[in-house]
Structure 1
Amino acid sequence: MQSPSVAELTDRAREVFRQIVDSYLETGVPVGSRTLSRQSSLGLSPASIRNVMQDLEELGLLAAPHTSAGRLPTEIGLRMFIDGMMQAAEPSPEERTAIDASLRRGLEAGHNIEDVLGETSAILSGLSRCASLVMVPRTDPVIRQLSFVPLGPRRAMAILVGADGSVENRVVTLPEDLPPTALEAAAHYINQHLAGQTLAEARTALAAEIERSRSTLDALTAEAVSAGLAVWSADGAQRPVLIVRGQAQLVEPSVDPERIRQLLGELEDKQELVRLLDMAREGEATRIFIGAESQLFSLSGSSVIAAPYRGGSGRVIGVVGVIGPTRLNYARVIPMVDYTAKSLSRLVA
């Protein structure tokens, strides 16, 4: 069902709806007409409020979880509220300082980009009281050193030390009949001739060297070098790094344990999370996915707020966001995510 616009509601319906949503986001429980009449400044009787609630329910904006209960906003209702009625609150000076200080500390200490983003993601989780996530830019490591450890016939462990001090390893499939000395020669060639280059640059340089028939390597060793470089290039292109922090923020005594179990299971599906965040990469501004609007979180009924951040060229290089129940303080959390993304764009560039 398509959400009606705010303009389609009467002033009375708009105010009743706003107060129901505000109450729900604050308490998480259904709102009854008698309670609304007693606590609000509407000046309406419970009977009048019930009539308005019925109209809003027919529009798909409210739902009654039980026959005798009050009303809750539906996901369609929350979408209309966020898009057309919500008044966002800018992050406080203390919140902005906490986000910026986390970024500066990591960068000034010379931490690699993943550590900096992980620390900032943890700060965002604490401030928003949600789980936070950040998709790290797909970076091409600069080679400091590469070595091979034989594992058996046609298999070796390639260990790459990056210029930033990072260490990663991958299992490499080798050419048939490759002698042990060829692995040593391959590592020596990479460290002597390709160190200081990115993996993409190293592969291009190796291809050009072989094409000109001026390589000091024999054919099998050249294949070992190529295999050692290719395993990272292929893996890095297919596996963006995703950092998730603060899952414990999602475990509240008042929340249905089954919903928590479902949500924590969804967070383990990193590939689906990346697909969802790739949708946010395509936008110019913060994206909000409410419940069933994202296939991944439709069962747990969770919301995702995500914003892209940019590198020095202005190109989107990653996404930062939070995950929480649909009962979020959207007016506070959306600007907080947006501010974090803009801070990342300024300081990571």
Structure 2
Amino acid sequence: MLDDRAKLLLKTLVERYIADGQPVGSRTLSKAPGLDLSPATIRNVMADLEELGLIASPHTSAGRVPTARGYRLFVDSMLTVRSLAGAGADEAGGAPHVEPLLPDQPRRVIANAAHLLSSLSQFVGVVTVPRKPGVFRHMEFLRLGERRVLLILVSADGDVQNRVLFTAQDYSQTQLLEATNYLNANCAGLGIEEIRERLKGEVDALRAEIAVLMQAAVQAGSEAVSEEADQVVISGERNLLQVQDFGADLGSLRKMFDLFEQKAQVLRLLDGSSRADGVRIYIGGESGVVPIEELSVVSSPYEVNGRLVGTLGVIGPTRMPYDRMIQIVDITARLVGNALSQK
């Protein structure tokens, strides 16, 4: 447990380091407003903070910088984020001014949101594509040629996907129409897994060739839903080239760009954040998913029509202005939810 004096000193040190990017010494802290302590007292308190692992001393400087543990304590108990509500929030609290996202195509909203997060934060913006319940409003089969069938899938919200099925036998358009009518009469509005279970129970009542075709359609629909769920849009990776903390460390930059290129780790990280209540912050490697000590993530789930469907966030250096990042992420999550809910 830190006493009030140590907390105030740590808070001041973190804020100064975030603002300037330079190790903070006792002389600098002694001049800070509201920190009425002598340089000798400050040195003693800093020694205690260093022993606790909250700050560290770079080899090239007599000043101190926060550790990941120090940032965590700062974010959890010392950070004040002003309310975004009310008139004059932009001027009084430094809240970013954000233009509303238009309820255009969902993918365009997601792409715009990732760009918005990146441009406002000057770091990397990430947004997952909304997870869909896998309910299809309409399915249709069309003959393309011998042993080739086009499956048209129309989701509950009107998105259309096409899949080409390569079949073991040739189907006439009459047979395909029969399968289309059966699926839409008996399975419209059901989820893929519900359709799969229903077909299992009715396979004996269907002619063998039609049953095989429908099972292929269900598998294609399941793959379509899976592909939709495994997408994340990333914007602003090159912003990290301008970050002072990374500029000279090519090894760290290489690891970061590998992370964004593969996307799988980012998806796992955001999937964990989707279960959070509001904004969540990962500092350094504490997420266990992004193993890069120099990176922090500020993320939030977003809702569409009252249902959690995705996650968005900002990825940047541990030395980021967390109060502003929280505001940016929180506002953008609301804008994305509003835009997609209007569709």
TM-score range, shorter chain: 0.7 to 0.9
**2:232 pairs with 1:242:** yes
Pair 1:211–1:167, CA change in 2 (3 A): closer
1:146-161 aligned within 5 A: 146-147=141-142, 158=150, 160=152
Q: CA RMSD in A?
A: 3.3
Pair 1:212–1:112, CA change in 2 (3 A): farther
**2:212 pairs with 1:220:** no
Tell me how far apart the structure 2 counterparts of residues 148 and 272 of structure 1 sit (CA, whole Å). Answer: 40
Tell me how far apart the structure 1 counterparts of residues 318 and 19 of structure 2 sit (CA, whole Å). Answer: 12
Tell me how far apart the structure 1 counterparts of residues 175 and 256 of structure 2 sit (CA, whole Å). Answer: 46
Equivalent AA in structure 2 for residue 207 of structure 1: L
**Cα deviations by residue, 1:47-70 (Å, 9 ceiling, x for unpaired):** 332221111101111011216431
**2:307 pairs with 1:318:** no
Tell me how far apart the structure 1 counterparts of residues 177 and 151 of structure 2 sit (CA, whole Å). Answer: 13
Structure 1 portions without partners, runs of 5+ = 1-7
1:153-172 aligned within 5 A: 158=150, 160=152, 162=154, 166=159, 168-170=161-163, 172=165
Equivalent AA in structure 2 for residue 123 of structure 1: L
**2:334 pairs with 1:334:** no
Pair 1:93–1:195, CA change in 2 (3 A): farther
**2:204 pairs with 1:200:** no
Tell me how far apart the structure 1 counterparts of residues 325 and 289 of structure 2 sit (CA, whole Å). Answer: 21
Contact kept in structure 2, 1:186 and 1:225, CA below 8 Å: no
Contact kept in structure 2, 1:170 and 1:231, CA below 8 Å: yes
**Cα deviations by residue, 1:236-278 (Å, 9 ceiling, x for unpaired):** 2474332222222222162233322211211233332222222
Equivalent AA in structure 1 for residue 212 of structure 2: E
1:163-312 aligned within 5 A: 166=159, 168-170=161-163, 172=165, 174=167, 178-181=168-171, 184=173, 187-189=176-178, 191-192=180-181, 194=183, 197=188, 200=191, 203=195, 207=199, 210-211=202-203, 213=205, 215=206, 218-237=207-226, 239-252=229-242, 254=244, 255=246, 256-312=249-305
Equivalent AA in structure 1 for residue 191 of structure 2: A
Between 1:69-78 and 1:133-142, the stretch displaced more is 133-142
Contact kept in structure 2, 1:281 and 1:307, CA below 8 Å: yes
Q: CA deviation at 1:167?
A: 5.3
Equivalent AA in structure 2 for residue 247 of structure 1: E
Tell me how far apart the structure 2 counterparts of residues 285 and 272 of structure 1 sit (CA, whole Å). Answer: 21
Q: Which residue of 1 aligns with 2:116?
A: 123
Partner SS, residue 98 of structure 2: helix
- The number of equivalent residue pairs is 324
Tell me how far apart the structure 1 counterparts of residues 22 and 146 of structure 2 sit (CA, whole Å). Answer: 59
**Cα deviations by residue, 1:183-239 (Å, 9 ceiling, x for unpaired):** x556544555546945736936972894472x5xx4124312321232221452474
Q: Which residue of 2 aligns with 1:61?
A: 54
Structure 2 portions without partners, runs of 5+ = none
Tell me how far apart the structure 2 counterparts of residues 159 and 300 of structure 1 sit (CA, whole Å). Answer: 47
Equivalent AA in structure 2 for residue 264 of structure 1: F
Q: Which residue of 2 aligns with 1:12?
A: 5
Contact kept in structure 2, 1:114 and 1:136, CA below 8 Å: yes
Q: Which residue of 2 aligns with 1:83?
A: 76
Tell me how far apart the structure 1 counterparts of residues 292 and 197 of structure 2 sit (CA, whole Å). Answer: 49
Contact kept in structure 1, 2:141 and 2:149, CA below 8 Å: no
TM-score (norm 1): 0.79
Identity between Structure 1 and Structure 2 (%): 33
**Cα deviations by residue, 1:63-118 (Å, 9 ceiling, x for unpaired):** 1121643111111111111110111134555967625x11xx2x1xxx33222222
Pair 1:151–1:165, CA change in 2 (3 A): farther
Runs of 4 or more off by more than 6 Å in structure 1?
none
Equivalent AA in structure 2 for residue 244 of structure 1: I
